Homo-oligomer: A and B are copies of this chain.
Amino acid sequence: MKQVIIVDASLKLPKGKLAAQVAHAAVAAFLTASNAARQEWLAEGMPKVVLRVEGPEALTRLHELAGQHDLPTALIHDAGRTVLPAGTITCLGIGPAADEQIDALTGELKLLR
């Protein structure tokens, strides 16, 4: 089991802002998972990986795909109080779900360094 959070790296968010958006995606996607998936993932120590894409289109496309595959997922729009225009898509959480289900959608993406 794992969770991935995919960031729009083209936004070049400051790291505190980025971390808050990723945390938002992690909690929101977790809340859309089944109780069984949550418990299994928690028992495994909540493995998570942060990946990157360039631009919001890849995030909306992966969000649709994750939904079609019945994976827990949450697309995060910034509230626009600080550095971004309101409604900017910043990141996408997928999972917790089985590694292979998530890798089928995101296995080609690069790690955010």
State the A residues within 8 Å of B (CB): 5, 7, 14-20, 22-28, 30-31, 42, 45-46, 48-50, 52, 79, 111-113
Q: List 27 A-B contacts (CB under 8 A).
A: A5-B19, A5-B23, A7-B19, A14-B113, A15-B15, A15-B113, A16-B50, A16-B111, A16-B113, A19-B19, A19-B22, A19-B23, A20-B22, A20-B50, A22-B22, A22-B23, A23-B23, A23-B26, A23-B48, A23-B50, A24-B26, A24-B46, A26-B26, A26-B27, A27-B27, A31-B42, A45-B79
Partner of A46 from B22, B28, B46 at Cβ < 8 Å = B28
For the complex, what is the distance from the CA of A112 to the CA of B28, rounded to whole Å?
A: 22
